[in-house]
């Protein structure tokens, strides 16, 4: 399996950013880490190994990006306005730097996002904000309401980074038409702490006529890597 380490100075974030790339062709997927996680955790927790056959055979290519959650949502040392501003900068990094990098090597007509836990929030939010760029997302054990990080603060950037808010009011045909062409998967466990959040998100999407697959896994599935490994095998 091809494995590439990348690091460059990000003008969007004003700092170095690291990334691991697995595979050489196939469906490109931007993979986000869990809360304050790192670009290597997908590999360290067996998620890359779980899809090794697809990577080896050119069916799948993973672009595992780093996180700045500790500078945004989880940064209690700055006001809420700065936390959401850093989130916006992070999205600019992915859109303006990571995506052009991907397209230098992979010209597949599809492009997906994926993540577990808080990484699933990033995956779903970015894919839903840009349904012309991303044709699907895989959320594993995700939660989608980030208001708890902001202490009651709210502005337009908060609104447009909270899928439970902007989707609930979505009526723009440009977005709705593209949503209905794409593929969205919400996977969670029967004992996952985010089970309710997944039902809620699926309900909002369906209320807007957006096709979404909500799969609740049994076998005592919880909110942890051993439960997410079979999910990534199933859906990617």
Cα angle: 123, vertex 96, 117; to 5 degrees: 15
Mean pLDDT per 10-residue segment, the chain (236 residues): 97 98 98 97 98 98 98 96 98 98 96 98 98 98 95 96 97 98 98 98 98 96 97 97
pTM: 0.97
Cα 136 from Cα 17, distance rounded (Å): 24
Cα 223 to its chain centre, rounded Å, is 16
DSSP state of 77: T
Query: Parallel, antiparallel, or unpaired for β 183-189 and 136-140?
Result: parallel
Residue 146, pLDDT score: 93
Query: Where exactly are the structural domains of the chain?
Result: 3-235
Q: If residue 29 lies in a helix (H) or strand (E), which one and from where to where?
A: strand 27-32
How many residues does this entry show for the chain? 236
CATH no., domain 3-235: 3.40.50.1820
Residues 6+ apart with CB under 8 A from 223: 117, 141, 189, 191, 192, 193, 194
Residue 221, pLDDT score: 95
- The stretches of the chain forming alpha helices (DSSP H) are 41-44, 47-50, 52-56, 80-93, 99-105, 118-129, 156-159, 163-166, 173-179, 195-207, 225-235
Strand-pair partners of 187: 140, 215
């Amino acid at each position: 399996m091809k494995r590439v380490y990348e690091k460059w100075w990000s003008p969007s974030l004003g700092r170095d950013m690291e990334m691991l790339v697995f595979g050489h062709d196939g469906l490109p997927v931007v993979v986000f880490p869990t809360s304050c996680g790192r670009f290597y955790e997908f590999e360290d927790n067996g998620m890359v190994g779980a899809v090794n056959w697809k990577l080896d055979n050119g069916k799948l290519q993973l672009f595992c990006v780093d996180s700045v959650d500790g500078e945004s949502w989880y940064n209690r040392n700055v006001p809420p306005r700065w936390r959401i501003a850093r989130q916006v900068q992070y999205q600019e990094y992915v859109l303006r730097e990571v995506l052009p990098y991907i397209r230098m090597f992979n010209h597949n007509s599809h492009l997906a996002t994926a993540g577990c836990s808080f990484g699933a929030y990033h995956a779903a939010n970015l894919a839903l904000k840009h349904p012309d760029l991303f044709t699907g997302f895989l959320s594993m054990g995700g939660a989608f309401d980030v208001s708890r990080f902001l202490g009651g603060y709210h502005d337009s950037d908060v609104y447009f980074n909270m899928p439970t808010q902007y989707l609930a009011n979505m009526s723009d045909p440009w977005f709705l038409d593209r949503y209905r062409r794409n593929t969205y998967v919400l996977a969670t466990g029967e004992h996952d702490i985010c089970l309710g959040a997944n039902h809620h998100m699926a309900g909002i999407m369906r209320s807007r006529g957006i096709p979404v697959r909500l799969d609740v896994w049994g076998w005592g599935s919880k909110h942890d890597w051993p439960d997410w490994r079979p999910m990534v095998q199933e859906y990617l």
